[in-house]
Amino acid sequence: MNTSLKIGSIMGIPVKLHITFLLILPVFALVFSINEPPLGFAGTTPLILNYALSLLTTILLFVCILLHELGHSYIAKSYGVEIKDITLLLFGGVSSMEEIPREPSQELRMAFAGPFVSFVIGFGLLALHIMAISFIPSYSGTSIYLMVGILASINIVLGLFNLLPAFPMDGGRLLRAWYAKRMSYIKATHYAASFGKIFAVMMGLFGLFFNPWLILIALFVYIGASEEDKQTTVTIGLEKHKVEDVMSKEVVSVLPEMTVEDLSHFMFENKHLGYPVIQGNSLKGIVTFTDIRNILPNDRFATLVSDIMTKDVISLSSGANAAEAFKIMTVNNIGRVLIADDDDVKGILSRTDLMRLLMLESE
């Protein structure tokens, strides 16, 4: 199920709205509409206008969050990092990057770019706010006055919050960059993630007594820190190995002229749910259980593998490193990838093969 809706592109980066963003948008607007000034519009305008102003403020707030993410993305792109997309969701925004720069100075600049944009917006609006109060006496107390004040204060708080030294916040990446100048990247990640998890536990305990929302944020931080630590350990562990040293060289394949009925029996006998389709020595495509699942029983005798196979095969060369294979599997949500040199299939590599390699290396 696709849970995100693309609304456009900026700097060549697709911008998406997650379903959680669409759900939280009216909630944020409601919060602004029922809060008293200076954090809301309650009692300042008629009810309909009040909610309209609150909704506009919420939309502008998420535009600021988008600019925050674009700050990260702009610096990352300058270092050659590919940005898959930017998604606005429940907790704000997320930039999906191909990889995080390993050079500490690059990661430091990229991590700080987001909070810097938030500070520029926040203090810029605050300066305009103060100037308008000084030169336009009637400005004070108006709806625009309240809106600018709300956006200025939230952007400053957003910048400060993201500097907290805990993954997945920007401060966690700043901390790792600082550590990485003094030790290995994997050890720096472990230390920064450990600090983040300790911070999350303290935040959760504080939230238990004062604010339940902090417990949810603490859970988000703890999971983010754990995933960053695990992902980095896996990636760096796999970078040292070539796929040709890990892959299974005995590839079980099927012919394009095989019927779907024969293929279903073949899958049952061989206990695999996906097979490359090879004719001669040439790779034609790949067919999986998902491809045959929707074929009606009566049609399986007349339908050929060539009719349902996927022709755009995701493959890697035998000289690629295992970390690249893991990244491809993760991004495309697949369990195995074909290893081929110029359509000549050399082997197949599964996620299980990679996990087994990491287990052996750790032991």
Catalytic sites, residue numbers = 69
Asked if 5 and 15 count as a contact pair (C-beta separation under 8 A), the reply is no
Burial of residue 258, with CB atoms counted within 10 A of its CB: 0-12 exposed, 13-18 middle, 19 or more buried: middle
Tell which residue, 302, 278, 307, has the closest CA to residue 291.
307
Report the distance separating Cα 203 and Cα 214, nearest Å.
6
What lies within 8 Å, CB to CB, of 251 at 6+ separation is: 276, 278, 338, 345, 347, 348
CA distance 204 to 214: 6
Sign of CA dihedral 242, 246, 251, 252: negative
User: What sign has the CA pseudo-torsion 254, 260, 262, 268?
Assistant: positive
Q: Are strands 336-341 and 315-316 parallel, antiparallel or unpaired?
A: parallel
Beta bridge partners of residue 344, listed in sequence order = 341
Task: Give residue 18's identity as a one-letter amino acid code.
Answer: H
* 82 Cβ neighbours under 8 A, 6+ residues apart: 97, 98
- Locate 12 and state its tokens: 């060549």
| 49/40 Cα distance (integer angstroms) | 13
Residue 241, SS3? coil
Cα distance between the two ends of the chain: 39
Report which residue type is found at 210. F
Please state the length of the chain.
363
